[in-house]
Amino acid sequence: MPALLTKEIIFKKLESNKSRLVDFGVQEIGLFGSYVNNQATEKSDIDLLVDFQKDKKTLRNYLRIVYFLEDLFDKKVELITKQSLSKHIGPHILKSVEYVSIAD
Written as one string, the DSSP assignment of 12-23 is HHHHHTHHHHHH
Q: Which residue numbers are catalytic?
A: 45, 47
Residues 6+ apart with CB under 8 A from 26: 50, 51, 52, 53, 56, 65, 102
HSE on the CB side for 3, CA within 13 Å? 6
